[in-house]
A = this chain, B = another copy of it.
Amino acid sequence: MKYSKQRELILTYVQNTKTHPTAEMVYNNVRQKIPNISLGTVYRNLNQLCEYNLIRKISTPNKIDRFDNVYDNHGHLYCHECGKVEDISEEIISSVCDFIADKTNYDIISHDVILVGICRNCKKKRR
């Protein structure tokens, strides 16, 4: 992989934010430093960084891909109400995966675990 300023900024941003950003969010952030970067370049780099396992893609039920670091095998909870993505710790995920793999004969790819629910905030608002 040849160096590029664009890719470096994209990688740094995805690795250091906790927001599980969409391509659009990455674009808006990197644009502050490289104003004429294109959305196509952002997508190309995000996908390439995924192939090299430097980041990973999280698919959520609303169809907008989000990206995240790969520090461990944590999973994700998607809030069906506000769309927020939160982490589920690696320990929790691995017990769940063991349990399900045992019952179903699937090999669960733990870092792709996505569960859908209603987050704390939205639960409060509902009352």
| Residues of chain A at the chain B interface (Cβ within 8 Å) | 59-63, 77, 79-80, 86, 88-89, 92, 95-97, 99-101, 103-109, 112-120, 123
Contact = CB atoms under 8 A, between A and B. Distances in A.
B123 A116 contact: no
Contacts of A89: 103
Contacts of A107: 117-118, 123
A117 B116 CA distance: 17
Contact of A61 (B62, B103, B112): B112
B106 A117 contact: yes
A127 B56 CA distance: 25
Closest 8 CB pairs of A and B: A112-B116, A59-B61, A106-B117, A108-B117, A107-B118, A92-B103, A105-B120, A63-B63
A64 B80 CA distance: 18
A109 B100 contact: no
A118 B112 contact: no
